Amino acid sequence: MSGETELIIADAEYSGAAEKYYTFATQMDGYVKEYVTILDQIVSQKCLQGTVAEKLSQFSALVSQMLSGQLAAIMKTQKRQMNDYISSVDDADEYLY
């Protein structure tokens, strides 16, 4: 195969999608943090009292615990897997192109 050049096929839309998904997930994490802050402010400013305030505080803590940072972490893994897929396809088809 002397004189031949290696052709690497990488779909620009697919490559860009990984970054877009990660960016979107990072934004969503910001929205979750903002949501938790609003819930905490409602409780701390005594807009609600009694059982409702207690349950809202528990809900806020649950949302924070379960969702904060999770979306970006998941999409970081997804982004890596999408990029690895492109590399795997390029490696697998090296003899075709």
Task: Identify the band that residue 1 occupies on the pLDDT scale cut at 50, 70 and 90.
Answer: very low
Quick one: which H or E segment has residue 48? none
Query: Which pLDDT value is given to residue 5?
Result: 58
User: What digits encode the pLDDT tens for the residues 15-70?
Assistant: 788 888 888 888 999 999 999 999 999 999 988 889 999 999 999 999 999 988 88
- pTM of structure: 0.67
Query: Which pLDDT value is given to residue 96?
Result: 62
Which residue would you say has higher pLDDT here, 83 or 8?
83
Q: Where are the domains of the chain?
A: 49-88
Query: Please, what is the Cα angle at 22 between 64 and 72, to 5 degrees?
Result: 20
